[in-house]
Amino acid sequence: MADEKSGAKLKLNGESAGRKKKLIIIIALVLLLGGGAAGFFLMKGSSEPKEGAEAGAEEAKAAQPADTETMFISDPEAFTFSVRDGRRSRIVQIRVAFEVTGQKNLDLAQHHLPLIRSAVFGVLDATGFEALQTAAGREEMRKKALEAARTKVQTVAGDPLLNRMFFTALVVK
């Protein structure tokens, strides 16, 4: 009789384990299919009109003519010059980038890049070591260099072309 009871328990446990396995497999499939469907809908994008800030930003960009698009021109060459620090001479290396508006101005700025480099280098080379030591001094140097470049380009191209100038790297050795 004890064998019959233990055999019955084994059968029940075997059936129970099979049901558990089936349940786990079904739950895994549901989760997998649900995750796949959610991923599909999130990745495909919506063809419905967007609401709020996204719609306003896209409409403004579409309405904006190509001539008002902001672009950047990065000078491939670094400006390298020396400055005096009391009795010691230091080497300075600066990389710059310029902001222009529109493809036409970008093309003109690239065409006149040697002229722009010359104007910027004239200001940077005249800068003393003290100006490089403070943020205010570097900002003043950047403003003077931009103004010199804009003035030179204005005389040749008839338009200042450059909106802003950025120091992308500044090393003092």
What are the domain boundaries of the chain? 2-63, 67-172
- Rounded distance between C-alpha atoms, residue 58 and residue 43, angstroms: 19
Class of domain 67-172: alpha beta
In whole angstroms, what separates CA 149 from the centre of its chain?
A: 26
Q: Tens digit of pLDDT for each residue in 125-173?
A: 999 999 999 999 999 999 999 999 999 999 999 999 999 999 999 999 9
Q: Tens digit of pLDDT for each residue in 53-86?
A: 555 555 555 555 557 899 999 989 999 999 988 8
Instruction: Using the Cα atoms of residue 59, residue 164, residue 171 and residue 75 in order, give the sign of their dihedral.
Output: positive
User: Which residue type is seen at 113?
Assistant: L
Query: In this structure, are residues 100 and 161 in contact, taking their beta carbons and an 8 Å threshold?
Result: yes
Q: Which pLDDT belongs to residue 89?
A: 92
Q: Which pLDDT belongs to residue 31?
A: 77
* Site of tokens 């491939």: 76
User: Which burial class, exposed, middle or buried, applies to 69 when counting CB atoms under 10 A from its CB (0-12, 13-18, 19+)?
Assistant: middle
Query: In this structure, are residues 120 and 148 in contact, taking their beta carbons and an 8 Å threshold?
Result: yes
Identify which of 146, 143, 135, 123 has the alpha carbon closest to the alpha carbon of residue 170. 135
In whole angstroms, what separates CA 96 from the centre of its chain?
A: 16
User: Which residue type is seen at 107?
Assistant: D
